[in-house]
Structure 1
Amino acid sequence: MSLAREVSFEIDERIFDEGGKADRFWVIHTGTVALDLRVPGRRAAVVETLGAGEVLGWSWLVPPHHWHLGAQATSPVRAYEFDAAAVRDLCGKSPELEHELCTYVAGVIAGRLRSARVRLLDLYAPYGAGEVP
C-alpha cells in the first residue's frame, strides 16, 4: 500500500481504452466500473462490471502492457491506484511478492474468463450457459 495513491472517477468517466498503454492498475474502494470490448460498427459491449474490493486492470503485468479491454466508471468511483513500473520493480526485488501477485492476478484472469464464458453461452448457446456445479 506504500505505492498506492487514492484517486476518483466521475460517473461515465473513461478510465482506459482497449489497446492503450497499461501502465497502472487499481483496487476499487467504492463504486462500479464496466469492462467493455470494442465492436466494429456498434458501441462497446460490456463484458463485466467490477465493484468494491476488485482489481481493475491486469494487462500491466503481461507484455506488451496494452489494455485488452476498456473501462468506464458506471457510478462515482474511489480507488487505490498503483504505478505498474514501480510494482514490477518491487516484484523484481522480492520473489515472494512476485509469486503472490502473479498467483493472485492469474486467479483474477481465470475468474474473468469463466464469467465471459458464461455470458457468451447465455447469449449464443441454444439452452443457455447452465452453471456447472
Structure 2
Amino acid sequence: MSQAREVHFPAGAGIFAEGTRAESFWIVRSGTVTLEIPVPGRRPASVESLGPGELVGWSWLFPPYVWQLAAEAMTPVRAYEFDGTRVRLLMDADPAFGSAVGHWVGRVLALRLHQTRTRLLDLYAPHVTPG
C-alpha cells in the first residue's frame, strides 16, 4: 500500500481504453467500474462490473503491457492506483512478494474466466425445458 495513491473518477469517466499502454492498475475503494469490449458501430459491450475491493486491470503484468479491454466508471469511483512498472520491479526484487502478487492476479483471472464462461453458457447454451 505504500506504493498506492488515491484517485477519483467521476461517473462516465474512461479509466483505460483497449489497445493503449497498460501502465497502472487499481483497487476499487467505492463505486462501480465496468469492463467493456469496444464494438465497431455500436455501444461498447459490458462484460463485467467491479466494486469495492476488486482489482481493475491485469494487463500491466504481462507483456506487451497493452489493455485487452476498456474500463469506465459507472458511478463515481474512489480507488487506489498503483504504478505497474514500479510494482513489477518490486516483484523482481522480492520473490516472495512477486509470487504473492502473481498468485493474486492469477486467482482474479481464473475467477473472471469462470464468470465469463458461465455468462456465455447462459447466453448461448441450448436451453432444455423440463418435460
Match of 2:28 in 1: 28
Task: Tell me if 1:88 matches 2:88.
Answer: yes
Match of 1:104 in 2: 104
Which 5+ residue runs of structure 1 have no aligned equivalent? Answer: 129-133
* Seq. identity, %: 52
TM-score of the superposed pair, with normalisation by structure 2: 0.94
3-state SS of 2:27 partner: strand
Matches within 5 A, 1:38-117: 38-117=38-117
3-state SS of 1:105 partner: helix
TM-score of the superposed pair, with normalisation by structure 1: 0.93
Alignment size in residue pairs: 128
3-state SS of 1:90 partner: helix
Structure 1: 4+ residue segments shifted above 3 A: none
Which 5+ residue runs of structure 2 have no aligned equivalent? Answer: none
Name the larger-Rg structure.
Answer: 2
Q: Residue by residue, what CA displacement relative to the aligned partner does 1:90-133 show, whole Å, maximum 9, x if unpaired? A: 111100000000000000001111111111111111229xxxxx
Distance 1:122 1:19 in 2: 28
Distance 1:115 1:15 in 2: 22
The two structures, once aligned, show a CA RMSD in angstroms of 1.1
Distance 1:77 1:39 in 2: 24
